Amino acid sequence: MSLYRPSRGDRPLRVVQWGTGTIGMRSLRAVLEHPRMTLLGVRVHTAGKAGRDAGELCGTGTSGVTTTESLEEILGLGADCVLYMPRSSDTHDLCALLSSGINVVTTAGDFHHPGSLDPGVRGRVEHACEVGGASIHATGSSPGFITEAVPLVVASVQRRLDCLSIHEYADLSQRSSPELLFGLMGFGRKPSASFGADRLAHLTSSFGPSLRLVADALGLPLDSIEADGQLAVAQHTTQIAAGVLRAGTVAAQRTTLSGRRNGRTLLEFNATWYCTGDLEPAWELRPTGWHLAVDGDTPLDIDMRFPVPLDRLADVSPGYTAHRAVNAVPAVCAAAPGIRTTADLPHFTAALAD
C-alpha cells in the first residue's frame, strides 16, 4: 500500500490549533503567518481564553477566528489538520478527530513509534485512522528533530554503524522559573543516593521510542533500552535567575538512555541539564544545543548550538518544537491513513513567507 495520497492541489491547507500553551501559542502564530495555510479554529482549555480572537490571543492582530472550548465545534469546521498540543493526550479526543477525517500533528510525544504504544491505545487510534482515512504524526525538537530526523540523515552516509550518540545540553542558569527548576526538576535539593526512578521512567518513555524508531529504520532493531542517571552538586553557593543555588545541592543532571543490540550500545541519548559549571564532580559541559557523534565506517562529529543569549532563549526555544510540527502538516495531510512516523514520511521542508 502506498503511504501517500493524491495532492490537494494548490489550495491552502485548513488548520486548527489545539492548545495554546507556550508551544501552542508559537504554533498558532506560525499558522496565521503561513503563506499556504488558513486557520479555521482554535481549541482552548480554559474559560478565560474561550471566545477570544485567535490573532489577538497570540499577538498578531485581529484574525476573525474565535477560540472555543467545544470539541463539537472543532469537528464541524472541515479542517484538513489539527495541530494537537495539549499538556497530555486524550485518546477519546484524538479518535474523534481522526475518525471524522481530520489529520493530526502532535507534539504530545505519544506516537513516535507505534510498537512502543500500549496495544489498546494503538488499536483504537489505528481504527479511528482507518474509519476517517486520516493520519497522525508526532514530532517536535526533542524528541523528534534531533532524535529522529537528524540521525536518519547522518546515517544515510553510513554502511556500517557502530554507535550513534546524541547529546543534549541545556544551560538553565538564566531560566527565571523557580517552579520548574527547584520544584519540578529538583535542582537546589540535597542529592539522593540514587537518581529518581520516576524521572528515569519518564525520560525512557519520552525518548526511548525515538531510539527504537531509528534502529528499526536502519534494519537493526534494539534488544533493550537501559537508563541511567547522574547528579552533580554546586561547589559554591551561586545566584541563578531562578534564585539561590546552595553549595552541596543538585546543580546538574545527566540522563543516559542506551539502545542495546547484540550486547553493545548501538544508539544513545544523553540529556545534560545544568544551572552552573561550578560542579562537584567536574563535568565536561557544552553550551546549550546538541552534539552528535557517529562511530562507523563514515564517522561524524556534529555540533548544533543555539546562538541566542541565555536570557532570550526562553522566548526563542518554543519555535524549535512548534515550527517542526507546523512544517510537517503538508506531508501528514498527504500520508495514507495510520500512525505515521518520521521514517514513514518523506523529507519535508518549510514553505516560508517572503
163 shares its domain with 48:
no
Q: Are residues 292 and 176 in the same domain?
A: yes
Please indicate, yes or no, whether residues 182 and 212 belong to a single structural domain of this protein. Answer: yes
CB 167 within 8 A of CB 270: yes
Cell digits of residue 316: 526563542
309 found inside a domain: no
Predicted pLDDT of residue 9: 60
Tens-digit pLDDT string for the chain (354 aa): 445 454 556 789 999 999 999 999 999 999 999 999 999 999 999 888 999 999 999 999 999 999 999 999 999 999 999 999 998 899 999 999 999 999 999 999 899 999 999 999 999 999 999 999 999 999 999 999 999 999 999 999 999 999 999 999 999 999 989 999 999 899 999 998 667 788 888 889 999 999 999 999 999 999 999 999 999 999 999 999 999 999 999 999 999 999 999 999 999 999 999 999 999 999 999 999 999 999 999 999 999 999 999 989 989 999 999 999 999 999 999 999 999 999 999 999 999 988
Is residue 327 within 8 Å of residue 348, measured between CB atoms? yes
Q: How many Å apart are CA 309 and CA 253, to the nearest integer?
A: 22
Is 308 a member of any domain? no
Q: Report if residue 148 sits inside a domain.
A: no
**Claim to verify: residue 128 and residue 193 sit in the same structural domain:** no
Q: Are residues 203 and 267 in the same domain?
A: yes
Residue 205 inside a domain? The answer is yes
Give CA–CA dist 136/93, Å, rounded: 13
CATH number of the domain within which 75 lies = 3.40.50.720
Overall domain count for the chain: 2
Are 241 and 330 in the same domain?
Answer: no
Residues 128 and 243 in one domain: no
Cβ contacts of residue 245 below 8 Å, gap of 6+? Answer: 187, 188, 234, 237, 238, 239, 251, 275, 276
Position 76 in a domain: yes
For residue 132, what is its C-alpha cell? 476517517
Determine, yes or no, domain membership for 2. no
Residue span of the structural domain in which 226 resides = 159-297
Question: Is 85 inside any structural domain?
Answer: yes
Kindly state whether residues 169 and 196 are assigned to the same domain: yes
Same domain for 251 and 176: yes
